[in-house]
Amino acid sequence: MRRPRRRGLAPSSRASPAGELHDRRRQQKRTTLTWLRPGGIPDELWPRTVQVLGEVSARYGFGPQQSVVDLPGRHDVGAFGPYGAYYNLATEANAAMYATTGCHPTAAAKATATSAPAG
């Protein structure tokens, strides 16, 4: 199962939590491995799956889900979270889900920021 393109999905926020540390070399994103479920998610379970995923992701600051594909036997939904975080759940012959964290400062950037003199 290929990852869907993000075209057409609007992120809820592109702001950087790094503030003055906006230098991309001092920021990082992490992406999970793709989780797979052989056999996919049956059509009759898809609405409840999307509902639960939306409720849980909202607790972590994700915006509204956006359906990329919604056809019998083939579904794809994703949502953007704080600072560019994103998740995607798709099902067809198999189900696949992955997530990407939002942009955040590297450990070195945090150390530099916290050890810098105030002023």
Bigger pLDDT: 58 or 28?
58
Pair 24, 16: CB distance under 8 Å: no
The per-residue pLDDT for range 5-24, each reduced to its tens digit, is 443 344 433 444 444 445 55
Name the 3-class secondary structure at 34. Answer: coil
- Looking at residue 36, its amino acid is L
The per-residue pLDDT for range 38-72, each reduced to its tens digit, is 999 999 999 999 999 999 999 999 999 999 999 99
pTM value? 0.66
> What pLDDT band is residue 109 in, cutting at 50, 70 and 90?
low
pLDDT attached to residue 104: 65
Structural domains in the chain, CATH included, are 29-111 (3.30.310)
Cα–Cα dist 95/97, whole Å: 7
Return the ∠ at Cα 55 (arms to 50 and 97), rounded to 5°. 45
pLDDT attached to residue 58: 95
Query: Within 13 A of 32's CA, how many CA atoms are on the CB side?
Result: 14
| Closest C-alpha to 66, from 6, 14, 2 | 6
pLDDT attached to residue 52: 97
Dmax (CA) for the chain in angstroms is 60
Mean pLDDT of the chain: 77
Which two structure tokens, joined as six digits, stand for 35? 């989780």
